[in-house]
Structure 1
């Protein structure tokens, strides 16, 4: 596929996602509630049909894209329910992504302080200091700037879609292309605004990432939850709120500690009577993980190191026998929260 064809398919995927997110502002209960938004939905769905027809003329691998695009257009014309439109848009977008070459992914993000300053200088005047779409220029803009704190929108928005919007702008809106920013800066902003709707649940601990960076970037939280039933919705939202978890090396000793503690908790709760396995996993959490960073953490915060050591000893004792519901879960959750503090300290030190 040529570079032009790749760019065209990326834009079509972006349009499909845009429809999935904004259709709720145009139609409710089968009725048009905002004619301007509805006309935009009709325009974008027609644009998808037209451009996909051109792609299919050039590519034998495009499959049933035209049929999917026309079905989506017809559903919008018939003012079908938002759930139907989201399902059809997501399916079309998934087909487009499968046909495209793997896009490059960031290998790290800017520090939180740096990206926050970047957001304030480049985005806050329109999208607001907290991302609520209420910046000082918002009242002058039509359509209004995106509210990044809207959870319903964020659940149906991918990080790739946000990155593309930052990189290329959005036609017929005040959203410009931020071509003056580096790729690293654009990715960092995409991860930042993509997590604003999930900050209230970001302290939920107890679930290690089981999705790849590529999956997290390309798919919306709703799609991830459907494709990864082993993960809870809260776990996926936590990754959006704390994307640094996606960039940790798998050999990170503290990640090993987290993973083994979670497995120990699961063995204790779900494999009744298998307390020996649960305790062995808790011992591994200490020997194969935490012990490797004890000296480094001691140099940063000796009290935290001692608390974590005591925490893990207490967990090992709890796992020896049956416990009242929630007691092990509570102890593990407290320890995971302190492990996050330790990880932050060691990362900042590094």
Structure 2
């Protein structure tokens, strides 16, 4: 291996003294050791194959010393890293013999990803680096060896082995990323003139690490594509060129995106880290509060864009937050494991943040959201309209129309003015409460329809006494049913479309128009088909639709209240179908089950009563006719 490549900032060995972290160091000491272990393995992943190829005994000896330090660092972490020791020792056996460079590199890469997860490590800055500050720090702390332009050509450099890095060399920079530079700046490199800079703040070290990558780049011209800090910190220059083109490389690490989404996710990450610290200190109540703050103030404000881009990831995040909160409530030692999984998921979300969808993507997402959110509401409205038409109660149709249009108006106002009012806990609370009110009204509607479907005398008099049969109370009920059935979906749709409108307002507009057309066609279809059905069949089908929707909304409403800690959580092994309001939690599933079984029990009881009445009637008729035989 060329010794100029074993340079201080490219060599990733994090050189903290190998002493056991004291109790005073606590979590911070552990985190440094995790980073150190990751850095060693990253170095081996990149340089071990070159050392084997060089057949240089000195280079191979260097690699053996690195893996020995990795084993010692894993021992230093104690039980937390015990599960990784066999894998690290297996790598050590290969390195000691100088065998299998490809296998060692692959194993080190896999270990790095698993260690980052286990340690809950952050591999990027918490805010955009200050390159002016980085330039100042470079001139003060680095230029004496690396030169004012970072070429490593100072006279003193000739006396060093290895020589200081030349940050203008393409081969050198191809194997470097800001996260690796950050670790080396933090801890230095043993056996070289490269010292660590522990007195610099984390922000200063990130600013310096990012500045190094601008030294060889030409002036930035134009506006680069939006890329998350998480990706910029963990990608090499060749990675970024492959993803965004050579022309954008000069600007990507100079002009950082004004990414509200990533900042919000970093807020969530900070609260989760604080929750883990409080959990370690035994403050489980404080840990629970921090986790709730992380979700409401970090994830909820950007959930719309996250869900539009990666709904599966959002589902995992919500489930992980609930599991971590439950661990805190129970004082479980698994809080650390759950918290580290949360940190990994948040970083995964950050890697995809900052990207904007094009107009067509937003259009299709808007259409799908409207169909998904509006399907339940339109079915309910259509069923009510068909039932009223069948009953020849057309004067009450406008009451239903007034109900659902009023809900749409409220949703439109929410879209225009409610971005902040409907964020975080406010939105979840509103969705939960509205959902439960809608459940009550849907059950009322189902009972109302069911009662009329089983009152033949009512059916006979309906055409003559429509107004009296429905009454003013039923008129208000019809309005409330239509209003609440649409209100929750209207609110939720408004919040989703707000997020998408940030990417493409025109996409939201055209997608909304397309969605409205499809939903109106659905209403007309159900209304026409329903009118042609027999009265009893129509009312029975409508009752089933209303009750099924009530069961779905009950699950969604309870889940929303659980997310803001207004209701407790009780996870159980079960499927998760968010679209149907089914969540693996007893607090929501049990009421849903009872509500779903209620109509079945009612029908069974009615049939038993009818059978008994029929039997009693038959016996009475038989007794009266006996003497005539």
User: What is the TM-score with the length of structure 2 in the denominator?
Assistant: 0.34
1:326-341 pair list within 5 angstroms: none
Structure 2 unmatched runs, 5+ = 1-25, 262-353, 363-500, 509-629
State which of 210, 213, 230 in structure 2 corresponds to 1:214: 230
Q: Tell me, what secondary structure is at the counterpart of 2:152?
A: coil
2:566 aligns with none
Q: Aligned equivalents of 2:116 and 2:186: distance in 1?
A: 18
Q: Aligned equivalents of 2:76 and 2:203: distance in 1?
A: 32
2:141 aligns with 122
1:30-179 pair list within 5 angstroms: 31-33=54-56, 35-55=57-77, 57-59=78-80, 62=81, 64-80=83-99, 83-103=102-122, 105-112=125-132, 114-179=133-198
Q: Aligned equivalents of 1:19 and 1:236: distance in 2?
A: 29
Q: 1:8 to 1:241 in 2, by over 3 A?
A: farther
Q: CA offsets per residue over residues 68-92 of structure 1, 9 Å max, x none?
A: 3123323323434655443332222
2:39 aligns with 14
Structure 1 residue 119, shift from structure 2 partner: 1.6
Q: Aligned equivalents of 2:27 and 2:115: distance in 1?
A: 15
Q: CA offsets per residue over residues 39-76 of structure 1, 9 Å max, x none?
A: 11110111112321343x422xx374223312332332
2:242 aligns with 233
Structure 1 residue 127, shift from structure 2 partner: 2.0
1:270 aligns with none
Q: Aligned equivalents of 2:186 and 2:62: distance in 1?
A: 21
Q: 1:18 to 1:182 in 2, by over 3 A?
A: same
User: What is the TM-score with the length of structure 1 in the denominator?
Assistant: 0.57
The structure having more radius of gyration, on CA atoms, is: 2
Q: Aligned equivalents of 1:162 and 1:203: distance in 2?
A: 26
- Contact 2:145–2:152 (CA under 8 A) maintained in structure 1: yes
Q: Aligned equivalents of 1:52 and 1:88: distance in 2?
A: 16
Structure 1 residue 221, shift from structure 2 partner: 3.1
1:310-321 pair list within 5 angstroms: none
Q: Aligned equivalents of 1:133 and 1:24: distance in 2?
A: 25
Matched, 1:249 2:259: yes
Q: CA offsets per residue over residues 298-320 of structure 1, 9 Å max, x none?
A: xxxxxxxxxxxxxxxxxxxxxxx
Q: 1:100 to 1:125 in 2, by over 3 A?
A: same
Q: 1:173 to 1:100 in 2, by over 3 A?
A: same
- Contact 1:106–1:187 (CA under 8 A) maintained in structure 2: no
Q: Aligned equivalents of 1:146 and 1:4: distance in 2?
A: 29
* Number of residue pairs matched by the alignment: 250
Structure 1 residue 159, shift from structure 2 partner: 1.9
Q: Tell me, what secondary structure is at the counterpart of 1:248?
A: coil
Q: 1:263 to 1:151 in 2, by over 3 A?
A: farther
- Contact 1:196–1:241 (CA under 8 A) maintained in structure 2: no
1:315 aligns with none
Q: 1:50 to 1:116 in 2, by over 3 A?
A: closer
Q: 1:77 to 1:133 in 2, by over 3 A?
A: farther
